[in-house]
Amino acid sequence: MSILVNLGGRLLPPEQALVPVLDRGFLYGDSVYEVLRTYAGVPFALSQHLDRLEGSASRIGLALPLRSLIETEIARTLSASGNADSYIRVMVTRGEGTFGLAPSLSDEPRLVILVRPLELPAPELYARGLHLAIVPVRRNDPRTLDPKAKTGNYLNSVLAIAQARAAGADDAIFLDLKDRITECSSANIFFVKESVVVTPPLTQGLLAGITRGRVIDVARAAKILVREEPHGTGALTQADEVFVTSTLREVMPVTRLTFLGESAPGPHAVGSGVPGPMALRLRELFRASVARGEMQ
């Protein structure tokens, strides 16, 4: 798999794309990033991703390079890659400077774009559904590092997926400090009860997933009832279906749940234990909307 890196405007193979150790992204996770994918070579929802990058940057007071520069560099890296379809990671660190936490010590932001051929989850995962673990580590409270900011400090998610994998699950579901479900380590979560699609509200402290938003839109356009409301784990055990959404997974069903730290951790089957019709339908509606060229 060939990765192409755009480091401050220079296109390099990863082994030559070196970032100084004094970069604050390395020292403190003081950076923001986005992950996009292309469909038929075109970055999906580019302007929404750049909006979210700007939102993340403004939450941590990081001055981004010009949006037009980021757009040009993404396009240049993509076309140099020659990939049919690509995974694109756009990172901006606060740059280098004298040692010390104060952001004022940094020089200028560093833009890094990483492009590699798109690799998607195996079709078997959609056929069997994911096994998710409700993990002991909690989602950052929005008053700490707000989960709405997609920063280079992803340790909260790293810990969650580590706990899930140690328990034999594919991924983690985070609860917040009030025991309410929030999201997964790198995906949003939904459940279905009596044909109503439910997902936690953004105000609860979670990333505003671009796929999440799009799935809500296509569901509502198809007259499917969608509610954004807080729920505890009981809603998952009683759900007819559970599924996750993300850029790379689109809409992926969840068929097993493990409750770490509880007396009967499981795994418990979700609904009838096989992928349900709503997840499949929403994935089809989502893909049809992408194919129509919506939200490019």
- Whichever of 131 and 139 has its CB closer to ligand PMP, that residue is 139
Q: Is residue 267 reached through a cis peptide bond, with omega within 30 degrees of 0 on the bond before it?
A: yes
- Whichever of 187 and 192 has its CB closer to ligand PMP, that residue is 187
CB 259 to ligand PMP: min, Å: 20
Contact with ligand PMP (CB under 6 A): which of 50, 53, 88, 207? 207
- Residue 183 interacts with ligand PMP (CB under 6 A)? yes
For residues 148 and 214, give the distance between their C-alpha atoms in angstroms, rounded to a whole number.
Answer: 17
Contact with ligand PMP (CB under 6 A): which of 106, 140, 163, 186? 186
- Residue 151 interacts with ligand PMP (CB under 6 A)? no
CB 78 to ligand PMP: min, Å: 18
Q: What one-character DSSP code corresponds to residue 66?
A: P
Binding residues for ligand PMP restricted to 234-263, rule: CB under 6 A:
245-247
- Residue 198 interacts with ligand PMP (CB under 6 A)? no
Contact stretch for ligand PMP (CB under 6 A) within 10-18, 63-71, 124-132, 179-187: 179-187
Neighbouring CB atoms inside 10 A of 122's CB total 9
User: How many residues are recorded in the chain?
Assistant: 296
Binding residues for ligand PMP restricted to 98-127, rule: CB under 6 A:
none
- Residue 210 interacts with ligand PMP (CB under 6 A)? yes
- Whichever of 76 and 89 has its CB closer to ligand PMP, that residue is 89
Q: Are strands 86-93 and 31-39 parallel, antiparallel or unpaired?
A: antiparallel
Tokens of 126: 């959609």
Phi then psi for residue 272, to 5 deg, are -90, 5
For residues 260 and 56, give the distance between their C-alpha atoms in angstroms, rounded to a whole number.
Answer: 31
| CB neighbour burial string for 36-46, b if at least 16 within 10 angstroms, e if fewer | bbbeeeebbbb
CB 211 to ligand PMP: min, Å: 3
- Whichever of 22 and 35 has its CB closer to ligand PMP, that residue is 35
Smallest CA-to-CA distance from 91 within 130, 56, 135 is with 56
Binding residues for ligand PMP restricted to 30-59, rule: CB under 6 A:
35
CB 143 to ligand PMP: min, Å: 17
Long-range contact set of residues 164-170: C-beta below 8 Å, sequence gap at least 24: 164/132, 164/133, 164/135, 167/133, 167/258, 167/260, 167/265, 168/131, 168/258, 169/131, 169/132, 169/133, 169/256, 169/258, 169/267, 170/125, 170/130, 170/131, 170/132
- Residue 187 interacts with ligand PMP (CB under 6 A)? yes
> Which positions touch ligand PMP (CB under 6 A)?
35, 157, 183, 186-188, 207, 209-212, 245-247
